[in-house]
Amino acid sequence: MAEMLERYKADLESLAARDRLRALAPRAGLDFASNDYLALAESRELAEAAAAALARGVPVGAGGSRLLRGNHPEHEALELEAARYFHAESALFFGAGFSANEALLATLPQREDCIFHDTLIHASAHDGMRLSRAQRASFAHNDSGALEGAIGSWRAGGAQGRAWIVVESLYSMDGDAAPLDELMALADRHEAFLIVDEAHATGVLGPGGRGLAASFEGRENVISVHTCGKALGVSGALVCLASPLREFLLNRCRNFIFATAPSPLVAACVRASLKIVESAEDRREALRARVALAGRELQRLCNVAPSGSQLQPVIVGADALAMSLAARMRARGYDIRAIRPPTVPEGTARLRLSITLHASEAQIECMIGDLAQELAKAGA
């Protein structure tokens, strides 16, 4: 019987030999790793919102799928408030951003359609595309010209279906933004749908923290995914889209139909978070100041070009070097993690620095000074 596990052990040993073995690590040190950009996850405001929801009888569990008895007034209230906040026609709440992306791409594009996706799109989108009946094609990162060429070639081959364009508004491993104006214009020219994953922009970027695609919300060919577990500090995801598409998901989306509904208590907390974030310009301004400082110091001390966002990669190349640098920075008291292939392309292992309100400007300066010393020691 022991032989049944050998292939799994061999795979793990292979990962370890290449410095690619993953393992859980506890929280330790100053936060430069999380996506809790506005420091809401452990905030007094959300703790009080959770306590108030429990006090008024909001249950922890839903008890079933939304189409059975799991549909709670908190879910419906959240979806109405989210549609108002994001200026969308309607919204649908999922238990996680990964599930939402997978569900959209597995369900909405049809057999005669084609999904055109940025090469750096999230793993959840790839999983959804594998489940889809539609064709799929990639285009070079943030290259709208390459995308237009790909759609043109598809049409030239006699395709009659609908094109679906899938991008992130802010990419989590490089911290760079998509050319959304160009992509929206292209989608309109080709009568295509544009799906924008706003995971790392929601709450932080755009007017009122509504994301980088805020000016396009409400269009019938735009679908946005707003993750609730990053800057909003809770969990789940809100998909904003035209009402007929929402109804189609209710009837055809297996991830929604057959899954136990998200916790009503979580929905109540997301409602509270949306209210906080809508008027949190002071938090966003403080974060912008920290991002600008980090960019200046990384350029000055580490010769690292600033990304311009709260997500800053320090690319070192080799997997082992990235792991070693991350360990040494953790020993200095900073929670910094290494990112290796296949999450990022081969030869681009990196430290992923996340700038949040958990670290003060002085602490950010100290961290970058210490990082510069470690990079110099490593010859990186």
Q: Which residues are catalytic?
A: 35, 122, 168, 172, 197, 200, 230
Spell out the residues 6+ positions from residue 367 whose beta carbon is closer than 8 angstroms to its own.
30, 32, 329, 334, 336, 359
Give the whole-angstrom CA distance, residue 122 versus residue 186. Answer: 21
**Nearest alpha-carbon partner for 225 in 182, 166, 309, 162:** 166
176 within 8 A of 307, measured Cβ to Cβ = yes
Q: Please work out, in degrees rounded to the nearest 5, the angle formed at the alpha carbon of residue 354 by the alpha carbons of 352 and 355.
A: 145
Main-chain dihedrals φ then ψ at residue 270, nearest 5 degrees: -65, -40
274 within 8 A of 84, measured Cβ to Cβ = no
Give the whole-angstrom CA distance, residue 279 versus residue 375. Answer: 39
Strands (E), the chain: 30-31, 90-94, 114-118, 135-139, 163-168, 193-197, 222-227, 237-241, 311-317, 334-335, 337-339, 349-354
Look up residue 314 and give its amino acid.
V
Give 153-158's long-range contacts (Cβ < 8 A, gap of 24+). Answer: 154/114, 155/190
Spell out the residues 6+ positions from residue 39 whose beta carbon is closer than 8 angstroms to its own.
233, 283, 356, 357, 358
Greatest CA separation for the chain = 61
